[in-house]
Structure 1
Amino acid sequence: MAISMKKVETGLQKYCTIMGRLHDTDVSQDREFQRLFNGYYKIRQRPASFYSCFYQFLEQHKSDSTLAFQQVLTYLWEETGCIHASFSSKLLATVRPEMPVWDQYVLLNLGLKNPYYTDKCRFQKVLNTYQKICDWYQTPEAHLKVEIFNAHFPDVMITDVKKVDLILWQSR
């Protein structure tokens, strides 16, 4: 799979802008922050109630270093009636940049499938899939992607997980 380092660089700039503003604004009220975040993470065509609860939760927890995927997933499920694995991971990864993002390209590159089951077990299957994503970030393949990123962007101070995320998103 080809990696466009120019696209990685574009994504990196957007990511750094979002992270630079996170603690300088009330993200539940800042429409410009929300526009940047929604564009970067491709959060589209959701009802206003989704955006409201999503950004209120992000604002309330943006300094919570113990925030967990299950906590975000549960909150969004209780508030919206849907299991939002990808959006939960994106919120978590914003609060805790050492946590990976669940994304269609991440799943594709890791050979994982989105558990689309409609039974009661789906919630646990989503948690299990996210754990598999987290575990993969400790592999030699993930470490190689960090080395590739560092070779192209040696002075960028972001977590290794974000470096890998940025490369995986462009590996199509």
Structure 2
Amino acid sequence: MSNAIEARLSELGLTLPDAPAAAANYVPFVRSGSTLYVSGQISMGPDGFITGKVGSDLDVEQGAAAAKACALSLISQVRAACDGDLTRLKRVVKLTGFVNSGPDFTDQPKVINGASDTMVEIFGEAGRHSRSAVSAAALPFNVSVEIEGIFEIA
């Protein structure tokens, strides 16, 4: 592995997916100075979309796994924005997580913990961030989770 972050990913047994291409009329990320805004990343696994409503089709743990998948896609976008060099990441600033859930489901924060915990496991203190975790009546392609992020980069 070429750096400490790549080594940490390997140690955790995590593999970053290829940075997903934009699916509509937007770009995957925008850099403004040292701030990197990454568009919402939807829950994708090796077999395709992770779909369904959390709380009825998926339990909280499955939702958290979907959020972890979103976190790995976010990191892939950061890597792409930094020309493959994750050491340029200085801090995870904020995550905004959307959970496909019904009106009676209130554990959105537990679901988005799947992404937050992943950021801290990989980046340590630089992975600690502010956050929002909200319910969505529906998400694109019926995915379970979508998360966007703001990062500070060198």
Same fold (TM over 0.5): no
- Identify which of structures 1 and 2 has the higher relative contact order when contacts are C-alpha pairs closer than 8 Å and 6+ apart: 2
Give the structure-1-normalised TM-score: 0.29
- If you compute each CA radius of gyration, which structure gives the higher value, 1 or 2? 1
Give the structure-2-normalised TM-score: 0.31
Q: Between Structure 1 and Structure 2, which shows a larger proportion of strand residues? A: 2
